[in-house]
Amino acid sequence: MSKRLAEVFARCEAENRSALVGYLTAGDPSVETSEKLMLGLAEHIDIIEIGLPFSDPMADGPVIQAASERALAAGTHFDDVLHIAMRIREKYPNIGIVLMGYANVPYTIGFEAFAQRASAVGVDGVLLVDIPAEESALCADIFKQHDLSQIMLLAPTSTEERIQLAADAGDGFIYYVSLAGITGAEMGEVAKIKDKLSLIRQYSKLPICVGFGVKTTEQAADLASFADGVVVGSYFVSQITSNTNAEDVIVDNLSTSASALASAMYKAI
């Protein structure tokens, strides 16, 4: 496993809290602004998921679809994504950095070149939404060679057989999708999420982060009571949507909401 991701979860555990994982799409609304927003957000979170913009984000709801469209319209390329990752790494040596996106981008760039360059700027892990365990042979060895954790998703529809597959193929942490749906939908029922996490823990010792639909400090606190991490994506991205021009305002809003979420995630003793 990426040493840095392991350290992030160990640190959070020592501090008796869950890790806050934040997502923004790289290049949204422009490369320059996106860098500032990510650097601002990174100060308050433990792991940053940098979204690779893609023309056809099949698993994303309207908020992240629009973010991808804005990023591509602004001319965002893989070089820009790497530059943002590098700047985050320079400023925050201990944060976890994960690239998240769809298979066709690294496949077309070439998994070797993609992994080599990502690793060189300090990326710790890669999450490709449309590469399930069955297809991960395409890139698994390459990611390992470059010390990149391949993060696997699990969902409410995952059977025990599939949990085993993801446990074997995955590394870094497991991303549990709180509901059968797309990003930005309403969060799934807490009791059901908790049950599924207990089941997953029978198969894997990896930390488990829960995402999809998390917007409020109450939700974050609920999940933090049993999950190792909580992922917030569409809620952060939606702050860009509603403030397209005011860069400083967005940074302030992201900082405020991220620190509120983070402080809600200490576990009761």
Query: Active-site positions?
Result: 49, 60
Q: Is the separation of the CB atoms in 29 and 152 below 8 Å?
A: no
Which residue stretch of 15-23, 58-66, 217-225, 229-237 sits at the interface with another protein (rule: CB under 8 A)?
Answer: 58-66
Nearer to another protein, 80 or 253 (CB): 80
Reported in sequence order, the residue ranges of the chain that DSSP labels E, i.e. its strands, are: 19-25, 47-51, 96-101, 125-128, 149-150, 152-154, 174-177, 208-211, 229-232
Q: Does 61 bind another protein (CB under 8 A)?
A: yes
Q: Is 116 near another protein (CB under 8 A)?
A: no
Name the nearest CA neighbour of 77 among 128, 138, 34, 129: 34
Residues 31 and 34: their CA atoms lie apart, in Å, by: 5
Q: Which amino acid is at 182?
A: I
CB contact set of 191 (below 8 Å; sequence gap of 6+): none
113 contributes a contact to another protein by CB under 8 A: no
Q: Which of residues 119-138 bind another protein (CB under 8 A)?
A: 129-132, 134-135
Q: Which stretch binds another protein (CB under 8 A): 25-33, 52-60, 235-243, 250-258?
A: 52-60
Show contacts with another protein in window 168-197 (CB under 8 A): 177, 179-182, 185
57 binds another protein (CB under 8 A): yes
- 88 is written with which tokens? 């985050």
- Quote the least distance from Cβ 169 to another protein, whole Å: 11
Q: Tokens in use for 112?
A: 């070797």
CB of 164 to another protein, least distance (A): 13
Type of residue at 53 = P
Q: Which residues bind another protein (CB under 8 A)?
A: 54-62, 65, 69, 72, 77-78, 102-109, 129-132, 134-135, 152-159, 162, 166, 177, 179-182, 185
